[in-house]
Amino acid sequence: IANRGEIACRVIKTCKKMGIQTVAVHSDVDSSAVHVKMADEAVCVGSAPTSKSYLNMDAIMDAIRVTGAQAVHPGYGFLSENKEFAKRLAAEGVAFIGPDTHAIQAMGDKIESKLIAKAAKVNTIPGFDGVVKTAEEAVKIAQQIGYPVMIKASAGGGGKGMRIAWNDEETREGFRFSSQEAASSFGDDRLLIEKYIDNPRHIEIQVLADKHGNALWLNERECSIQRRNQKVVEEAPRLVRRFWASQLFVSVKNPRQTRRRIEISQQNHADPYKSFGLPSIGRLSQYQEPLNLDKVRVDSGIQEGSDISIYYDPMISKLITYGATRAEALGRMEDALDNYVIRGVTHNIPLLREIITHPRFVSGHISTNFLPEVYPDGFKGHQLEADAKRELLASAAVLYIAAELRSAKVLSTQRVASTPVKSSHWELCVELGEERQDVQISKSGTVYTVEIDGAKVEVWGALNLASPLLPLTVNGTHRMLQCLSRDAAGGIVLQYLGTLFKVRVLSKLAAELNSYMPEKASEDTSSILRSPMPGTVVAVSVKPGDTVAEGQEICVIEAMKMQNSLTAVKQAKVTGNVTVTPITRLQ
């Protein structure tokens, strides 16, 4: 299997069912990856960068010879649409489980496929049908086509090597980033330019054929919900047996992007990726897939303890649910997201849950501009209405009391208190952001009644503080909450309706005394440029003594095969030494 992650695991699972032995190839940083453990044999084919491992044809061919493999499954991406790889396999009598070289040349190369489509009189997007060789040539072609234009990798896919340009400067920048990303992801930096369609729907139809003349089409898939030209949600409305299926791509992201991304376009074209997350890395300290739910499937290539690396795609898994109706499939998706436990990295579950419950999505009024249109100022999590806010505050207060009651016991026996303790009524103060609410709680049996601002909220359920999932019933409605952390100062981080909320619960006395505590001063970061994600520096655009303008590029960071330009937040002068250079790793 010449791939990694969830697709490699899926192929290995199928091979096991068929009684076929498998060989995994891997980079040095993937030596403990799940697909490596699942395979019968494993061969390291190079170091972490894809060009030195998963795109390293010589090393992969050597692995084939050493292990005596009779066939290669390329998965998707990497070498899956590389005709040279298919030719080399054929020359050594090794089966390539994929299209033949003619089909790869015709369909895997966007320039070639557009020429074939035009010859067949199929409508295509206007653009330049050849290879764009330089940034200045790209500008001339873009001017001839008319802005906006899309710059994309000819050998690309999955949103890699794609940039939208609204003017000459963005075309030059897009050419640079797209060619570098294409080379990194596909080993092929050829680019094409075509007219950018500003508000389309993205519909796919898969066609499957073999060399014996059999062919079938696998129905349509709605893929319009996208971030950075990468599909986030897919729907297959008419599958076999009339099931509806919804698929989400769960990936890691960096929350700091919300706070630091700035607009650099002088024409006010908003950054379409703002606040929807850039990659983050880390170790999955806790990981639990919602496979206990009915009609839920998860395709993943990771497990608890896995490391998410800067070198590869940030996708954690594909979450699939299905049902007899669209509403049923989406309802299961909502439950599955609430039951999905991911700790150690920041992920996109809050955004995914908001998308599938948004009225525009539910009604089907969507396009590829869904995210920037629905969240023009960036995604800021679920916005709580009054009833939902009371539910959250009540749940946090109940969790605090449950922890207090547990700490008052030793081996299920009540401790001897030095002062009388009221065990059925409490007065607390709950803080959410800048808001502070006085709360009264009473307990009768297993039911907590919480009074907030004159309204009563009843909460009961399994308050197992050792479990990552907290199934509660709040005012008769079932809610699945997750408690990510609790501290001695009353801080509680709860995942509620998909979004993380930082709540602080204090006793009434502690709240009164806390008002005398000095506030921590915020760090002055106006003269500091911080990377929004871990990655590798691929270019540095300034030197000591340079005066930079607001919005000017300082350096370029590459992470998970995507490149991002870091820009100055204000006009300033570069002082001291520039200590980063290309290949510098940022943690």
- Residue bearing tokens 């009779």: 70
Structural domain for 449, as ranges: 386-406+423-514
- Residue bearing tokens 């599938």: 356
| Single-letter amino acid code for the residue at 531 | S
CA distances in angstroms from 457 to 292, 393, 515, listed in the order given:
29, 10, 27
Q: Which residue has the higher pLDDT, 179 or 564?
A: 179
Tell me the β-bridge partners of 176: none
Q: Is residue 235 part of a domain?
A: yes
163 in Cβ contact with 177 (< 8 Å): yes
Digit-coded pLDDT (tens) for 89-107: 999 999 999 888 888 888 7
Whether the pLDDT of residue 568 is over 90: the answer is no
Q: Is residue 112 part of a domain?
A: no
Q: Binning pLDDT at 50, 70 and 90, where does residue 273 land?
A: very low
DSSP 376-387: TT--------HH
407 in Cβ contact with 490 (< 8 Å): no
Residues 6+ positions from 260 with CB-CB distance below 8 Å: 530, 532, 569
> What helix, strand, coil percent values describe the chain, rounded to 5?
25, 30, 40
Is the domain of 210 the same as that of 280? yes
Digit-coded pLDDT (tens) for 44-75: 999 998 889 999 999 999 999 999 999 999 99
- Residue bearing tokens 């990694």: 4
Residues 138, 261: Cα–Cα separation, whole Å: 27
How many distinct structural domains can be found in the chain?
5
Domain CATH code at residue 185: 3.30.1490.20
On the CB side of 128, CA atoms within 13 Å amount to: 24
Q: What is the pLDDT of residue 244?
A: 53
Provide mean pLDDT across the span 128-148.
Answer: 93
Q: Is residue 119 part of a domain?
A: no
Q: Is residue 253 part of a domain?
A: yes
Is the domain of 269 the same as that of 326? yes
Q: Is residue 56 part of a domain?
A: yes
292 in Cβ contact with 339 (< 8 Å): yes
Q: Is residue 434 part of a domain?
A: yes
Q: What is the pLDDT of residue 183?
A: 83
Q: What is the pLDDT of residue 266?
A: 24
Assign 66 to helix, strand or coil: helix
Is the domain of 234 the same as that of 311? yes
Digit-coded pLDDT (tens) for 168-208: 999 999 999 899 888 877 778 889 999 998 889 988 888 88
Domain CATH code at residue 570: 2.40.50.100
545 in Cβ contact with 558 (< 8 Å): no
139 in Cβ contact with 166 (< 8 Å): no
CA-based angle 93:98:99, to the nearest 5? Answer: 95
Helices 83-91, 57-67: crossing angle, 10 deg rounding: 30
Q: Is residue 85 part of a domain?
A: yes
- Residue bearing tokens 């409490």: 426
Is the domain of 74 the same as that of 19? yes
Q: What is the pLDDT of residue 417?
A: 56
Provide mean pLDDT across the span 318-335.
Answer: 91
330 in Cβ contact with 338 (< 8 Å): no
Provide mean pLDDT across the span 325-336.
Answer: 92
Assign 399 to helix, strand or coil: helix
Q: How far is CA 55 from the centre of its chain?
A: 23
Provide mean pLDDT across the span 282-292.
Answer: 93
DSSP 447-491: EEEEEETTEEEEEEE---TTSSEEEEEETTEEEEEEEEEE-TTSE
Nearest to 111 by CA among 190, 43, 33, 34: 190
Provide mean pLDDT across the span 265-290.
Answer: 61
Domain CATH code at residue 25: 3.40.50.20
Q: What is the pLDDT of residue 435?
A: 92
Is the domain of 179 the same as that of 42? no
Q: Which residue has the higher pLDDT, 62 or 511?
A: 62
Q: Is residue 436 part of a domain?
A: yes
E strands present in 233-377: 233-236, 244-251, 282-283, 286-288, 296-300, 307-308, 315-323, 341-343
Digit-coded pLDDT (tens) for 515-548: 888 888 887 777 777 787 778 888 888 888 888 8
Whether the pLDDT of residue 312 is over 90: the answer is no
Residues 6+ positions from 515 with CB-CB distance below 8 Å: none
The radius of gyration computed from the CA coordinates of the chain, to the nearest angstrom, equals 27
Assign 541 to helix, strand or coil: coil
Query: In 262-344, which residue ranges form alpha helices assigned H by DSSP?
Result: 326-338
Q: What is the percentage of the chain residues whose pLDDT exceeds 90?
A: 51
Q: Is the dihedral of CA 39, 44, 47, 51 positive or negative?
A: negative
Nearest to 24 by CA among 82, 50, 32, 88: 32
Residues 561, 534: Cα–Cα separation, whole Å: 12
Is the domain of 495 the same as that of 400? yes
Is the domain of 186 the same as that of 273? no
61 in Cβ contact with 79 (< 8 Å): no
Is the domain of 312 the same as that of 353? yes
On the CB side of 200, CA atoms within 13 Å amount to: 12
Q: Catalytic residue numbers?
A: 259
Residues 251, 314: Cα–Cα separation, whole Å: 5
